[in-house]
Amino acid sequence: MNKKIGKHTVRLESKPRIISVTSVVGPKEGEGNLKDYFDIILRDDLNGKESFEKAESDMMYTAVLESIKKARLTEEQIDFLLAGDLLNQLTSSSFAARGMNIPFLGLYGACSTMTESLGVAAMIMDGGFANYVVAATSSHFAAAERQFRYPLEFGNQRPPTAQWTVTGAGAMVLGKEGNYPYITHVTIGKVKDYGINDPNNMGAAMAPAAVSTIYQHFNDTKRTPNYYDLIVTGDLGKYGKEITEKLLKEYGYNIRENYIDCGEEIFDCETQGTNAGGSGCGCSAVVYTGYIYKNMLSGKFKRVLLISTGALLSTTSSLQGESIPGIAHAVSIEYGKIGEKK
């Protein structure tokens, strides 16, 4: 049976279930708008470690193991761990995985990595290649600043379009059975580049990719925005969200009534000084595993389209004058009886 529909979307026949989740966030995120939804809030950004990078890796490790524990499973029962982060050579994920007894696949999609790992994990499950898979990702404000922009000691001024990389890690365990939110479709995005070369304006760089993927998802599935209770982009922030709304309206899709952006929701930008909002791999990871997943279990949201967005730049490419390509992947998640009307 051909499970591909349209150009970029896969329909999952077995509807892999998200049977447990864990969110770990830093203290700033723990003071933000969604503080009541996170599982673990760190006391400080170093988390008792020698470096911010080690702190991030430990966050990933904790999120994965706690999710496995919640699912009442052991590491040996997990067939694959799919994870990624923002650091060179995926060190946060790789170093976390070295402490686990789980086969590991490292993925890099920049800030789109949560839906990349979740989508690939769901396809592995639907293909019959695994009974349990963990999808996870993480980011850390200080580690990302050091790698992509300036060390914190530099004290540079942040422009209004800049976003605050979320210190957070999220993990999801996928299984085959149970009354849990389930994944119905995965839409794989294309790389889009509209010539943005300002690393302090990630929202504008990523918005075209978000628009492309959302448009393609609706085209492939023949759905309209009102099919979903919530359409969620990962980390476009205030300005990227505005661009996405405007461009999709030009394509004939008005998503304003049921559209939020994780980067805009996670912080109180005015009181917390986060400028255009949050970003980073951990942004959509902790907002989904915290706020959205828990509200799906309560019945507030039954159908959610999650689109994590990523800026595929490196320090080398920026210094060489390259523009910033963007990527976005979408995962359709539902809860309730399969086929149940909204």
Q: Which residue, of 175, 193, 214, is where some domain finishes?
A: 175
251-270 average pLDDT score: 92
Residue 133 CA to residue 122 CA, distance in Å, equals 8
Q: How far is CA 320 from CA 150, 197, 211, in A?
A: 17, 11, 27
Residue 339 lies in a domain: no
Residue 60 CA to residue 132 CA, distance in Å, equals 18
Which tokens go with 152?
């914190």
149 and 83 within one domain: yes
Q: How far is CA 68 from CA 132, 175, 246, 277, 297, in A?
A: 10, 11, 41, 31, 18
Buried b (16+ CB within 10 A) or exposed e, 37-47: bbbbbbeebbb
DSSP 8-state code for residue 77: G
Residue 183 CA to residue 91 CA, distance in Å, equals 29
115 φ/ψ angles, rounded to the nearest 5 degrees: -75, -25
What pTM value is reported for the model? 0.93
CATH code, domain with 166: 3.40.47.40
pLDDT above 90 covers a percentage of the chain that reads 77
Is the pLDDT confidence value at 336 over 90?
Answer: no
168 and 49 within one domain: yes
DSSP 8-state code for residue 34: T
Query: If phi over 0 gives left and psi between -120 and 50 gives alpha, with beta otherwise, what is residue 299?
Result: left
Q: Are 163 and 275 in contact (CB under 8 A)?
A: yes
193 and 151 within one domain: no
Q: Are 136 and 78 in contact (CB under 8 A)?
A: no
Residue 205 CA to residue 178 CA, distance in Å, equals 39
328 and 201 within one domain: yes
User: What is the rounded average pLDDT for all residues in the chain?
Assistant: 92
pLDDT by residue (tens digit) across 133-180? 999 999 998 887 776 666 665 556 665 567 778 999 999 999 999 999
297 and 196 within one domain: yes
Q: Which residue, of 175, 196, 218, is where some domain finishes?
A: 175
Radius of gyration, CA atoms only, the chain: 18
121 and 75 within one domain: yes
- Residue range(s) defining the domain that contains residue 170: 4-175
171 and 186 within one domain: no
Residue 153 has a pLDDT of 58
**Residue reference for tokens 């070295």:** 98
**Residue reference for tokens 């892999």:** 16
Residue 94 CA to residue 61 CA, distance in Å, equals 10
Q: What is the DSSP string of 87-118?
A: SGGGHHHHHHHTTSSS-EEE--BTBTHHHHHH
Residue 286 has a pLDDT of 97
Q: Which residue, of 146, 175, 204, is where some domain finishes?
A: 175
pLDDT above 70 covers a percentage of the chain that reads 93
Task: List Cβ neighbours of 338 (8 Å cut-off, separation of 6 or more).
Answer: 15, 182
Give me the number of domains the chain comprises. Answer: 2
310 φ/ψ angles, rounded to the nearest 5 degrees: -135, 145
Q: How far is CA 213 from CA 9, 283, 293, 328, in A?
A: 10, 19, 22, 6
Is the pLDDT confidence value at 32 over 70?
Answer: yes
Residue 72 has a pLDDT of 98
Is the pLDDT confidence value at 274 over 90?
Answer: no
Strands 133-139 and 80-84: parallel
The neighbour count for residue 222, using CB atoms within 10 Å, is 9
Residue 339 has a pLDDT of 56
pLDDT by residue (tens digit) across 75-98? 999 999 999 999 999 999 999 999
Q: How confident is the model at residue 314 (pLDDT cuts 50, 70, 90)?
A: confident
Residue 211 lies in a domain: yes
Residue 232 lies in a domain: yes
User: For 62-66, 133-137, 151-155, 249-253, which range has the lowest pLDDT when averaged over its residues?
Assistant: 151-155
Residue 331 has a pLDDT of 98
Task: List Cβ neighbours of 264 (8 Å cut-off, separation of 6 or more).
Answer: 236, 237, 238, 241, 277, 278
Q: How far is CA 304 from CA 57, 174, 184, 281, in A?
A: 29, 17, 10, 19
Q: Are 124 and 80 in contact (CB under 8 A)?
A: yes
34-60 average pLDDT score: 95
Is the pLDDT confidence value at 247 over 60?
Answer: yes
